[in-house]
């Protein structure tokens, strides 16, 4: 299994997380030396990709058994809105999940 290809295929809107995580795993020094800034922004940097990964997990798991993921996405997105809203108004916190997901998934997959 090629994890990079799987990331491009199953999580294209957040593929950059895989490349960042891979770089941090295989060459930690370049990643950790740049972790500076306000605590609230560091929390957003760490937590927000986990919420996107949760969306992908829910889509894949519930899609496999033909269940509707809408309520799970709504709950996760409520947490995303709270997280972004507390972090100095980073991003549009009034945007609904469907609009957010459409923007995220339209982003280029990157390297």
Residue with tokens 């549009």: 92
pLDDT (tens digit, 9 = 90+) per residue, 88-97? 555 556 778 8
pTM, two decimals, is 0.60
CB distance 73 to 27 below 8 Å:
no
CA–CA gap between residue 33 and residue 60 (Å, rounded): 35
Residue 110 scores a pLDDT above 80:
no
Render 64-101 in DSSP notation, one character per residue: HTT---HHHHHHHHHHHHHHHHHTTT-S-TT--HHHHH
pLDDT (tens digit, 9 = 90+) per residue, 63-99? 889 999 999 999 999 888 888 777 655 555 677 888 8
pLDDT (tens digit, 9 = 90+) per residue, 20-35? 777 666 665 555 566 6
CB neighbours of residue 48 within 10 Å: 19
CA–CA gap between residue 98 and residue 71 (Å, rounded): 12
């Amino acid at each position: 299994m090629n994890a990079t290809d799987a990331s491009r295929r199953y999580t294209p809107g957040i593929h950059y997380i895989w490349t960042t995580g891979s770089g941090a795993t295989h060459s930690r020094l370049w990643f950790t030396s740049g972790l500076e800034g306000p605590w609230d922004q560091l929390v957003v940097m760490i937590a927000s990709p986990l919420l996107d990964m949760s969306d992908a997990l829910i889509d894949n798991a519930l899609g496999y058994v033909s269940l509707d993921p809408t309520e799970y996405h709504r709950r996760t997105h409520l947490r995303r809105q709270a997280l972004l809203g507390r972090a100095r108004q980073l991003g549009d916190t009034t945007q609904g999940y469907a609009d957010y997901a459409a923007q995220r998934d339209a982003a280029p997959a990157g390297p």
